[in-house]
């Protein structure tokens, strides 16, 4: 029998009550892998969707969710990384545990000045915001930028990145209480997603509309096109509000608008890309251009409560699990 560890798991789909702490075998690492002892673990909506059965899962229950964590290497079979190195991960499965086996390709080295909690609060959502503002559409000085779900984790970081590039942000939310959260990120305007929101956008931008709309809601995709100027861009990268309607290519031709899709895994394709993009974020944090809010922390054993809290929509900060 190998050594044991604690992990947050679920064996059936359902609400937060299906989450439980299990004693499991500690991962055994192979060639070119390291064993990470986690110090902070990022909780994400994707973990909730997995728990509910919305995503395909590999293997047999009990399932360990989670992809994002930071900590210290305690075993290494890699030439590149050694025991004692401080590292983070953004796309390695089974992260809701005391130990995680990590292929060296997926290791993100941490600068001494970036804490474990900062890394686990930043990476998954920050890397998403980074490709959205730099690759899906290259935000320029004075661009008008519409951000759906601007009070969410990605929305807040995206707004900050856009502001750091000189863009002007209009943040959207369904929740009155979240308007302040959006303005706190530096957004120029925060508006409620009601029947009048498109008129509000035009009042702000003038008759042309925004240069780019970032849509993670899905069901609002055609509305996003309506408020985007001719030759502008709509970036579709999530479906929190359900599937979008089909887009007519004729409309794109007639208005010279661009529709582009975004998925983080399309960009985190190599060790070099992971490290380069993460370092760009770390640099922004260190030079004060990207402030990370104090996270809300739960013990790993209280993972059920953490799921409940994230799902309730109460939080405007990252939720972390601490082993």
User: Could you tell me the fold of the domain covering 4-123+266-322?
Assistant: Quinone Oxidoreductase; Chain A, domain 1 (3.90.180)
Tens of pLDDT, residue by residue over 38-48, are 999 999 988 99
Tens of pLDDT, residue by residue over 227-247, are 999 999 999 999 888 889 999
pLDDT at 247: 96
From the list 193, 223, 220, the residue with the least C-alpha distance to 210 is 223
Grade residue 264 by pLDDT with cuts at 50, 70 and 90. Answer: very high
pLDDT over 70 percentage in the chain: 100
Indicate whether 36 pLDDT > 90: yes
From the list 143, 172, 140, 167, the residue with the least C-alpha distance to 156 is 172
* 3-class SS of residue 254: helix
pLDDT at 314: 78
Grade residue 60 by pLDDT with cuts at 50, 70 and 90. Answer: confident
pLDDT at 316: 84
- Show the tokens assigned to 154: 């990605």
pLDDT at 59: 76
Cα distance between residue 199 and residue 110, in whole Å: 45
The answer to whether the predicted template modeling score (pTM) of the entire model surpasses 0.85 is yes
Grade residue 67 by pLDDT with cuts at 50, 70 and 90. Answer: very high
Cα distance between residue 64 and residue 51, in whole Å: 10
Measure Cα distances from 92 to 68, 88, 108, 243, 308 in Å: 7, 10, 11, 27, 23
For 203-234, the DSSP string reads: HHH-TT-EEEEEE-SSTTHHHHHHTEEEEEEE
For 161-207, the DSSP string reads: HHHHTT-EEEEEES-GGGHHHHHHTT-SEEEE-STTHHHHHHHHH-T
Q: How many CB atoms lie within 10 A of CB 256?
A: 10
pLDDT at 55: 77
Domain spans, the chain: 4-123+266-322, 141-261
Give the alpha-carbon dihedral of 270, 94, 125, 214, to 10 degrees: 90
| Locus of tokens 């796309």 | 91
For 107-126, the DSSP string reads: -EEPPTTS-HHHHHHHHHHH
State how beta strands 68-76 and 33-43 pair: antiparallel
pLDDT at 122: 97
The CATH number assigned to the domain with range 141-261 reads 3.40.50.720
Q: What's the average model confidence in pLDDT over 262-267?
A: 94
**What does residue 241 show for φ and ψ, rounded to 5 degrees?**
-105, 10
Tens of pLDDT, residue by residue over 171-211, are 999 989 899 999 999 999 999 999 999 999 999 999 999 99
Q: Would 4-123+266-322 and 141-261 be classified into the same CATH topology?
A: no
Indicate whether 1 pLDDT > 70: no
Q: What's the average model confidence in pLDDT over 296-319?
A: 92
Assess whether the previous peptide bond of 62 is cis (omega < 30° from 0): yes
pLDDT at 288: 92
pLDDT at 169: 98
Tens of pLDDT, residue by residue over 107-157, are 999 999 999 999 999 999 999 999 999 999 999 999 999 999 999 999 999
Cα distance between residue 126 and residue 284, in whole Å: 11
């Amino acid at each position: 029998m190998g050594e044991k560890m604690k992990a947050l798991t679920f064996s059936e789909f359902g609400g937060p009550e299906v989450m439980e702490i299990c004693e499991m075998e500690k991962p055994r690492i192979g060639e070119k892998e390291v064993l990470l002892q986690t110090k902070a673990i990022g909780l994400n909506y994707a973990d909730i969707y997995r728990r509910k059965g919305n995503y395909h899962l590999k293997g047999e229950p009990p399932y360990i969710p989670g992809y994002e964590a930071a900590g210290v290497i305690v075993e290494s079979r890699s030439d590149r990384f050694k025991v004692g190195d401080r590292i983070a991960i953004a796309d390695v499965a089974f992260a809701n545990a005391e130990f995680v086996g990590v292929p060296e390709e997926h290791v993100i080295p941490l600068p001494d000045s970036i804490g474990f909690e900062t890394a686990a609060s930043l990476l998954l959502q920050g890397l998403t915001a980074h490709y959205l503002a730099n690759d899906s559409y290259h935000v320029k000085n004075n661009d008008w930028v519409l951000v759906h779900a601007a009070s969410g984790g990605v929305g807040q970081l995206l707004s900050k990145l856009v502001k750091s590039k000189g863009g002007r942000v209009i943040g959207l939310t369904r929740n009155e209480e979240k308007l302040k959260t959006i303005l706190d990120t530096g957004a120029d305007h925060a508006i409620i997603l009601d029947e009048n929101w498109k008129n509000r956008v035009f009042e702000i931008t003038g008759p042309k509309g925004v240069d780019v709309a970032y849509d993670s809601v899905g069901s609002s995709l055609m509305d996003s096109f309506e408020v985007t100027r001719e030759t502008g861009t709509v970036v579709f990268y999530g479906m929190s509000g359900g599937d979008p309607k089909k887009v007519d290519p004729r409309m794109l031709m007639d208005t010279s608008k661009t529709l582009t899709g975004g998925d983080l895994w399309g960009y985190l394709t190599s060790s070099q890309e992971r490290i380069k993009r993460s370092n760009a974020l770390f640099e922004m944090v260190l030079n004060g251009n990207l402030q990370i809010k104090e996270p809300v922390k739960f013990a790993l054993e209280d993972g059920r409560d953490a799921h409940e809290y994230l799902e309730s929509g109460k939080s405007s900060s990252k939720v972390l699990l601490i082993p």
